[in-house]
Amino acid sequence: MIKDLISLFYPEVCAACGNSLFKHEEVICTQCYVHLPKSNYHKDPNNPLHKVLVGRFPFQGATSFYLFNKKSRVQKLLHELKYKNNPEVGVLTGKWFGEELKDTAFSKADVLLPVPLHPSKQQQRGYNQSGKIAEGMSSSLGIQLEENLLYRRTATKTQTKKDKGDRWQNVEDIFDIHDQKKYEGKRVILIDDVITTGATIEACANALLKINNVELYIASLAFADQ
C-alpha cells in the first residue's frame, strides 16, 4: 500500500521514453524493450563495429547490443546511466545483452572486464557505468566480473565533443594492468557503454595485450556508426 501511495505522487517512469511504468515493468517499459534498436552484430562476424576496429589491434570478436543515434531512446538510456544516477539501467540492459550472447563465442569467455573510470570520476558518479553493464551480463552469462585488472592511470576530459584524432590523444597510454600473469591464456570480454571511434577501446586493448596469449573480445551496450 505504501509503495502504491508513493507511486501515486511520484510515479516511476521509463528511463528510455519517460512514460509512466506499469506495475509489472521495471526501469524500461515494455514498448521500449520491444522497439529499442538492437544491432544483432553477434550474428555477423564482419559487422560495422568489427570493421571500425579491425587492423588496429588483435581481437577475436566485436559486438554491440544497440545502435546509437542522437536524440534517440538509446541516447536517453545512456544519459540516465551516466549522468542521472540510474545504475539500474546498466544492470538491466546488461542482463538483456548477456541473454543475446548465449550460445555465441562470447559466452565461452573466462572474465568480463569493464572499461575503468579514474577513481576521482567514479567517486563523483558513485559507480562505473560500464561496470554496471558488465554486472548485468555476468548474471546472465555466469562469467566472472573483474574490475581490478585494468586501471586508468590519469583522469581525462570527456570524449563527447572530440574528433577522432583528439579522442585518441586524450586516452593514449592512460591504461595499465595489475597482475597480468593471473590472466595469461584467458578469454577476456572488454565492455564499454558506447563505442564511437573506438579510441578508448583501442587504448584499453593495448594494455591488455601485454598479457601472454590473451584472447580479447569487445562488447558495448551501444555503437554509434559514424
Residues 156, 216: Cα–Cα separation, whole Å = 24
Residue 9 above 50 pLDDT? no
Per-residue pLDDT reduced to its tens digit, 61-103: 999 999 999 999 999 999 999 999 999 999 999 999 999 999 9
Q: Which pLDDT belongs to residue 165? A: 52
Q: Is the pLDDT of residue 6 over 50?
A: no
Please, where in the chain does CATH 3.40.50.2020 lie?
36-223
Name every residue whose Cβ is closer than 8 Å to that of residue 48 and which is 6 or more positions away in sequence. Answer: 41, 223, 225
Q: Are 142 and 131 in contact (CB under 8 A)?
A: no
Reference 189, options 85, 90, 64, 68; nearest CA is 64
CATH number of 36-223: 3.40.50.2020
pTM given for the model: 0.90
pLDDT in tens, 184-196: 999 999 999 999 9
